[in-house]
């Protein structure tokens, strides 16, 4: 009889064992690779969230103070006491958490908010917030005129902006508690698509002689090229009942309803704060004026600011560093802002069941506030 070819039981068992070892090693390497990719992805997402939020903050801080009067914008007050709404951490449907300090009679380009924000699960203390002011330069019409290129009005009337001599024929009319500002269409068209004036915008009216009033647009009548300021705005700027810093101060004589040459500028108030409406997923928010805040950084657990302050009048110039809560007298002399953001991964690492955490720091020199004339 001829012997049949085949494998013995021992050979089969050895082959299976070798195959199982190879498979186990392969699966281990594959699992390790999957975990590595997961970890890298979580770290990358965390870094991306930090960079996205930081880019927004830096961009707005670079603009801080641009186009604003030196020393800030006067706000309604009586005897040095104000009550202007300050955007910040909120609980829906509200859009603010209180007022600017009652002793403020001006709004500075930067309003620090040391530990005025919420406390997250990992921050330990209240987070910071910040309010940033600057003049808008995006409203440019089809004739390439911008909003504050010309005054709103010319006392006694004007011929418009089509000729060599620009004499705007717009008007500012106050009737009771309502003020209507109508722009000369030959000077500026306020209906310019996405940059058009709209309800909720902040408008700075500044008389040629210097007095100013910050107001909130109640209605924008784009067809008539006009805006209206009326009572009960969200900021408490219009018809505040205060004796200083109101629209009456830019009238000549004061309270007469008659306006001298007056310029209008749109002002952006940008607020950054941490929101923990979802406690397990705090977010970095950017709020424009008192509109609904938008998320600019996910899973952001903390935000802190430190300021360098130029010592006013010091010769040679000197700077006080590492100030967390500048006084109102120091705020106009902010030289540098140091920003620290702390974030975690959007989901926990499957191996350790814990979140990856990272942080990002940078410094911004405030170009509109840190100038010191060494040759004065």
Q: Which residue ranges make up each domain of the chain?
A: 44-365
pLDDT at 326: 95
pLDDT at 2: 62
**Mean of pLDDT values over 38-62:** 89
Reported as a pLDDT band with limits 50, 70 and 90, residue 371 is low
pLDDT at 88: 83
Strand partners, 306: 338
Q: Is the pLDDT of residue 92 over 90?
A: no
Beta-carbon-side half-sphere exposure of residue 82 (alpha carbons within 13 Å): 24
Q: First CA to last CA across the chain, in angstroms?
A: 118
Closest CA to 55 of 296, 369, 309, 326: 296
Closest CA to 305 of 266, 362, 251: 362
- What is residue 98's three-state secondary structure? strand
Closest CA to 274 of 89, 110, 51, 114: 89
Closest CA to 299 of 259, 357, 352, 257: 357
Q: Is the pLDDT of residue 38 over 80?
A: no
Q: Is the pLDDT of residue 243 over 90?
A: yes
In eight-state DSSP terms, residue 293 is: P
- Specify the higher pLDDT residue, 91 or 83: 83
Q: Is the pLDDT of residue 372 over 70?
A: no
Determine what percent of the chain is predicted with pLDDT higher than 70: 94
pLDDT at 375: 47
pLDDT at 368: 62
Sign of CA dihedral 230, 234, 235, 241: positive
For the ranges 7-11, 30-34, 160-164, 271-275, the maximum mean pLDDT occurs at: 271-275
- Specify the higher pLDDT residue, 78 or 281: 78
pLDDT in tens, 104-142: 999 999 999 999 999 998 888 999 999 999 999 899 999
Closest CA to 334 of 93, 32, 130: 130
Reported as a pLDDT band with limits 50, 70 and 90, residue 95 is low
pLDDT at 308: 95
Residue 133's Cβ-count burial label (10 Å; 0-12, 13-18, 19+) is buried
Q: Is the pLDDT of residue 347 over 90?
A: no
pLDDT at 244: 94
How far CA 21 is from CA of 16, 17, 25, 80, 375, in Å, comes to: 9, 6, 6, 81, 80
**Mean of pLDDT values over 321-328:** 94
Buried b (16+ CB within 10 A) or exposed e, 47-84: eebbeebbebbeebbebbbebbbeebbbbbbeeeebbb
- Specify the higher pLDDT residue, 44 or 189: 189
This prediction's pTM: 0.88
């Amino acid at each position: 009889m001829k012997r049949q070819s085949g494998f013995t039981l021992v050979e089969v068992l050895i082959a299976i064992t070798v195959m199982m070892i190879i498979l186990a090693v392969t699966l281990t390497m594959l699992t390790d690779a999957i975990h590595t990719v997961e970890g890298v992805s979580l770290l990358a997402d965390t870094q991306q969230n930090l960079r996205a939020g930081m880019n927004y903050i830096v961009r707005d801080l670079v603009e801080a103070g641009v186009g604003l009067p030196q020393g800030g914008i006067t706000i309604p007050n009586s005897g040095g006491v104000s009550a202007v709404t300050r955007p910040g951490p909120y609980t829906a449907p509200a859009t603010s958490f209180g007022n600017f300090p009652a002793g403020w009679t001006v709004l500075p380009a930067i309003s620090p908010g040391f530990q005025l924000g919420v406390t997250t699960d990992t921050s330990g203390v209240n987070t910071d917030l910040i309010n940033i002011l600057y003049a808008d330069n995006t409203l440019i019409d089809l004739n390439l005129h911008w909003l504050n290129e010309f005054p709103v009005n010319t006392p006694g009337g004007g011929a418009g902006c089509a000729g060599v001599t620009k004499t705007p024929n717009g008007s500012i009319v106050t009737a009771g508690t309502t003020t209507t500002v109508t722009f000369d269409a030959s000077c500026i068209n306020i209906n310019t698509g996405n940059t058009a004036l709209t309800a909720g915008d902040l408008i700075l009216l500044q008389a040629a002689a210097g007095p100013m009033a910050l107001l909130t647009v109640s209605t924008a009548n784009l067809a008539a090229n006009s805006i209206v300021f009326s009572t009960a705005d969200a900021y408490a700027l219009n018809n505040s009942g205060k004796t200083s810093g109101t629209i009456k101060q830019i009238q000549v004589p004061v309270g007469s309803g008659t306006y001298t040459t007056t310029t209008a500028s749109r002002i952006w108030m940008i607020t950054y704060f941490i929101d923990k409406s979802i406690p397990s997923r705090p977010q970095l928010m950017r709020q424009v004026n008192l509109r609904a805040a938008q998320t600019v950084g996910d899973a952001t657990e903390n935000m802190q600011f430190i300021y360098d302050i130029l010592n006013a009048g010091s010769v040679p110039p000197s700077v006080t560093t590492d100030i967390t809560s500048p006084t109102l007298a120091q705020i106009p002399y902010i030289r540098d802002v140091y920003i620290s953001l702390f974030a975690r991964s959007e989901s926990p690492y499957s191996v350790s069941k814990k979140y990856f955490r990272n942080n990002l720091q940078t410094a911004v020199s405030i170009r509109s506030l840190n100038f010191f004339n060494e040759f004065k």
